[in-house]
Amino acid sequence: MDEDAVRDGERGGAVAEGLEAAVLGGFLAVFDRLGARERVAYLLHDVFGLAPGETARVMGGSPAEAARCARRARERLRGGGTGSDGGDPEARRALVEAFLTAARARDAVALAALLAPDAVAYSERGPVHGAPAVAAEAAGLARPGALLRPALIEGAVGAVARADGRPVAAVRVGFRGDRIVSLEITTGADRLRALGPVFPEA
C-alpha cells in the first residue's frame, strides 16, 4: 500500500477520534450540569424508552413532572430547547398549520414530508423514532370528531386536539430549520390543565 495513503488514513482516523472525543466530552459536560432528577428522567424516558408513568414510579412524583424533567433535560442537551435555533416565527406557524392540515386529513405521507428524518414523538407510551412512525403517531391525533387548533404550550409553538368541547391532547412542537424534529404529546385532563395551553388569535 502507498505510504502516503497509509499516513492519510492514520491522520483521518486520528481526526475522527479527536472529534468523537470532543463531542462526547461536550455532551458529558452539559449532562453533568443537569439536575439529578433531570438526569434520571432523561435516561429512563429518552434513553431506555420508559413511559412517563413508569419513569415517575422509579424517580418518584407524578408522570407530568417526570415528562417535564425529561423535556427540560432534552432541551438543555440540545442547546436551549424547542425553537432555540432562531427560526422565523411566521415560518414556524405556517409549518404547524401545514402539519395540522395533514393531520386532519390523516395523511401520513404529507406529515412525513414536514418531519426531519430523525424526528421523535414523545408520549405516555414512550418515544417513537423516525419520520414514518412519528407521522403515523400524529395522524392518530385526528380521531373522529376531534378539532385540531394551533396553540402555545408552555410558551412554545404547538397544537391542541379537542373533542366534545374538551381538550384531549396537547402537542408541543420542536423545530430544526424548516422541519419538525420533535412532538411532545400530552394527554389526560389533569396534565392538560397543568399545561394551560393558550390559543392565539387567528
Q: How many domains does the chain have?
A: 2
For the stretch 16-75, pLDDT in tens is 565 566 556 655 666 676 677 778 888 888 888 888 888 888 888 788 778 878 887 887
Residue 47 belongs to domain with CATH number: 1.10.10.10
Q: Indicate the residue among 78, 97, 126 that finishes a domain.
A: 78
Tell whether 110 and 179 lie within a shared domain: yes
Tell whether 61 and 14 lie within a shared domain: yes
- Helices (DSSP H) in the chain: which residue ranges? 3-32, 36-41, 52-59, 63-78, 89-104, 108-113, 131-139, 189-195
Residue 149 belongs to domain with CATH number: 3.10.450.50
Whether residue 132 is contained in a domain is answered as yes
Tell whether 60 and 15 lie within a shared domain: yes
Strand-by-strand arrangement of the 115-122 sheet = 128-129, 115-122, 179-186, 166-176, 156-163, 147-153
What is the residue range of 143's domain? 89-195
Q: Indicate the residue among 78, 106, 122 that finishes a domain.
A: 78
For the stretch 94-153, pLDDT in tens is 999 999 999 888 899 999 999 999 998 888 777 788 999 999 988 888 776 678 888 887
Q: Indicate the residue among 78, 98, 126 that finishes a domain.
A: 78
Tell whether 44 and 112 lie within a shared domain: no
Tell whether 17 and 95 lie within a shared domain: no
Model confidence, pTM: 0.61
For residue 101, which phi and psi values (nearest 5 degrees)? -60, -45
| The predicted structure's pLDDT at residue 6 | 44
